[in-house]
């Protein structure tokens, strides 16, 4: 088992930086800080959940989250639950992440319902389901924002003090995907660790 303080947090010994820094673009800083915080605040049995899975090969422009989270826990320990409403997305995700399939459980279904049914503590929650419209022609922004808030509310009973929450697409017109969820996190007393293209929070 690698020591996160010498093999992840220290840049010159960081395999993850070497592999992903040039691929993740504007998500790099928040993903990196999120993973540092998760490694610091949880042990090798850490539980990670993401809503919305990888659905295209080498799609680092969308974060490629299932792959990079799974690889992280393959080194440091833990499990990843990934849930997506579209069975075709999950089927492709299984193929793309096959090298790390021992660490991943794949779920087809509504993410809010899944989170409501989850009964174990969550160490890392990544919210990235329900595509956010980039232009008015693609539809209203409110459904995506309401869904993100509903996911957060569903997960709250299993988020412990120190749990890390990362929400994608924060720098989009109209407040982005976390436009409503961020106000709820403030109400709860969560600490915003980084406000960038993604929003990163630590639960109180």
* pLDDT on residue 1: 45
Average confidence (pLDDT) per 10 residues, the chain, 204 residues? 51 69 90 92 96 82 83 92 97 95 97 98 96 83 96 98 97 93 98 97 98
| Nearest of 1, 6, 33, 56 to residue 197 by alpha carbon | 33
| Strands 122-127, 199-202: pairing kind | unpaired
The rounded distance, in Å, linking the Cα atoms of 105 and 102 is 8
pLDDT score of 63:
62
Residues shown for the chain: 204
What is the predicted pLDDT for the residue at 134? 79
pLDDT of residue 125: 98
Instruction: Please give the structure tokens belonging to residue 203.
Output: 């639960």
Q: Which residues of 63-80 are buried (b: 16+ CB within 10 A; e: fewer)?
A: bbbbbbbbbbbebbbbbb
Calpha distance 93→186 (Å, rounded): 33
For the chain, the structural domain boundaries read 25-202
Q: Print burial letters for 140-177: b (CB count within 10 Å at least 16), e (below 16).
A: ebeebbebbbbbbebbbebbeeebbbbbbbbebeebbb
Is the domain covering 25-202 a CATH 3.40.50.150 domain?
Answer: yes
This prediction's pTM: 0.92
Closest CA to 166 of 69, 31, 72, 62: 31
pLDDT at 62: 63
Looking from the CA of 69 toward its CB, the CA atoms found within 13 Å total 32
Catalogue the E-assigned strands of 43-178: 47-51, 79-84, 104-108, 122-127, 159-167
3-state DSSP assignment of residue 14: coil
Cα(60)–Cα(183) distance, integer angstroms: 28
Give the angle subtended at the CA of 178 by the CAs of 73 and 203, to the nearest 5°. 55
């Amino acid at each position: 088992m690698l020591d996160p303080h010498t093999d992840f947090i220290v840049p010159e010994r960081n395999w993850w930086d070497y592999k992903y820094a040039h691929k993740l673009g504007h998500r790099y800083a928040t993903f990196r800080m999120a993973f540092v915080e998760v490694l610091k605040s949880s042990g090798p049995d850490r539980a990670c959940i993401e809503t919305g899975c990888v659905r295209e090969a080498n799609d680092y422009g969308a974060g490629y989250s299932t792959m990079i989270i799974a690889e992280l826990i393959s080194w440091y320990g833990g499990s990843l639950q990934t849930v997506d409403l579209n069975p075709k997305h999950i089927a492709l995700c299984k193929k793309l992440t096959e090298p790390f399939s021992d660490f991943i459980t794949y779920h087809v279904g509504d993410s809010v319902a899944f989170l409501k049914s989850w009964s174990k503590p969550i160490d890392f929650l990544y919210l990235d389901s329900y595509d956010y419209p980039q232009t008015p022609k693609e539809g209203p922004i409110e459904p995506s924002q309401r869904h993100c808030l509903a996911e957060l509310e569903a997960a709250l009973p299993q988020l412990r003090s120190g749990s890390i929450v990362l929400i994608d697409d924060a720098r989009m017109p109209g407040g982005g995907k976390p436009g409503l969820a961020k106000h709820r996190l403030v109400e709860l007393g969560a600490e915003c660790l980084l406000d960038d293209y993604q929003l990163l929070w630590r639960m109180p």
